[in-house]
């Protein structure tokens, strides 16, 4: 595994840890509009990052 791959993997795990933290916090208030909005925002950002990651992987692979 290259150094870049290790760094990318480390960054991904750190990001997932942050996502889990913010989702856990938002779930404490999931019955309120604020909590629902936080969850929607987090999931939107996660989806954007996943789309970007898949696009980058696809580009690197040459598809």
Q: How does pLDDT run across 2-19, given as a tens digit for each residue?
A: 888 788 878 888 888 888
Estimate to the nearest angstrom the gap between the alpha carbon of 39 and the chain centroid. 12
Which pLDDT does position 47 carry in this prediction? 86
What is d(CA 40, CA 34) in angstroms, rounded to the nearest whole number?
Answer: 10
pTM over 0.85: no
Angle at 42 between CA 38 and CA 60, to 5 degrees: 170
- Token readout for 41 is 């925002």
- Token readout for 32 is 């309120």
């Amino acid at each position: 595994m290259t150094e870049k791959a290790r760094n990318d993997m480390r960054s991904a795990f750190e990001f997932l840890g942050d996502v889990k933290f913010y989702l856990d916090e938002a779930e404490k208030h999931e019955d309120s509009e604020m909590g629902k909005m936080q969850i929607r925002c987090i999931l939107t950002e996660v989806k954007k990052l996943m789309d970007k990651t898949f696009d980058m992987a696809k580009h690197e692979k040459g598809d």
